[in-house]
Amino acid sequence: MGAEEPSARDQGPEERQDPAGTRLTWFAFLWAVFGVVQLAKWASWSRSPVHMALALTAWWLLFRPGSIRLLVALLVLQVVETAVLLPWVSNHTLFTAILALTLLVALAASLDWRTGRVDRSRAFETFAPAARVQVLGLYFWAFFHKLNTDWLDPATSCGATLYAIWSDGSGVLPTGSAVTAGAIYLPLLIEGAIPLLLVARRTRWVGLLLAASFHYVLGIGGFYRFAGAMFAALFVFTPDDIVTRWRAWVEADEGRMRLAEGFRGFVRGPLFMWGTRAFLAIAIVVLLANANLTWVRPDFTLLRPLYAWPRPFLSYEFQAAWAVFATFLLLALIQVRR
């Protein structure tokens, strides 16, 4: 059932020479995606100079995932942001800060202080085992803390409340006592099963697909910041040849090849680059006009009446963009398993 192991002849030169270093680049890309969507929700990137620096660094890393300097800058800013906000941070924010700090330590341990160069392969191989333990710990505590009467009571359960919000908002989701019970017990069973499946190599793919599907649904439902973090974190459980498998999957179909080449050409082309710059300029102007900028001046109201948005600027648009990206990533994960 599993995909055939590609030969050295089928692998790209970068992957043959440094597969772990290539995986670090892919992790950096996924982490940059998380950094962008994290700050897009509720226009969080406009809360302070640190948040704006975070947003710009994540966006830049998105298109230069091989840059160690940009990766380090993003990780440092994320740790600093969390440290400043403590203790008023969510569980997933604290988890991502610990993960970022772990990668910083791995990068520092892999630095050649004489040349100033980081051994990318060693950095990822140092980071991945520690990150796996942290991810398993997260799922264990997510499961364990739900073992209480409030979670299991339909009148007080967060699972039941969240599903009620989704069903009321969609108008199409089923309702009833059985569905409510499913909203309570299904997350409990999934979060309990994921770490058990991820620990064993024989069931790791099942755990990856289950976890990715679970966070995909949560992301579509509005929790796309946490989902983005977990999509990146779960990457450390993928096999060493995952990049080769993805490339082979793309190259196996002429349509996918043309799509990939067209996308690569578009991203590197002048239209995209200048369009991105124009978009960022407009977004920054509107954000400055519409955001919480008490760190600039408590009575800051410039242009606010002209941009009286009923919701945070671009929050839902980035949620939709994340949904498209996550759909592709989930499908790609399914395909390379075949």
pLDDT tens digits, residue range 45-82? 666 677 778 888 888 898 888 899 999 999 999 998 88
Q: Which residue has the tokens 């790609």?
A: 332
Residue-level pLDDT at 4? 34
For the whole model, what pTM was predicted?
Answer: 0.80
Residue-level pLDDT at 276? 62
Cβ-count burial of 223 within 10 angstroms (0-12 exposed, 13-18 middle, 19+ buried)? middle
Cβ-count burial of 172 within 10 angstroms (0-12 exposed, 13-18 middle, 19+ buried)? exposed
In the chain, which residues have pLDDT < 70?
Answer: 1-20, 42-43, 45-48, 170, 263-264, 266-269, 271-318, 337-338
Residue-level pLDDT at 312? 52
What are the residue ranges of helices labelled H in the chain? 13-17, 19-40, 49-63, 68-85, 91-109, 120-144, 149-152, 158-170, 177-199, 204-220, 224-233, 242-251, 254-268, 270-290, 315-337
CA 27 → CA 11, 60, 156, 166, distances in Å?
A: 19, 15, 38, 31
What does DSSP assign to residue 42? G
Q: Where are the domains of the chain?
A: 18-145+200-337
Residue-level pLDDT at 328? 79
List own/partner pairs for 101-109 with CB under 8 A and 24 or more apart: 101/75, 102/127, 102/130, 102/131, 102/134, 103/71, 103/75, 103/127, 103/131, 104/72, 104/75, 104/76, 104/79, 106/130, 107/68, 107/71, 107/72, 107/75
Residue-level pLDDT at 1? 36
Residue-level pLDDT at 301? 42
Residue-level pLDDT at 289? 53
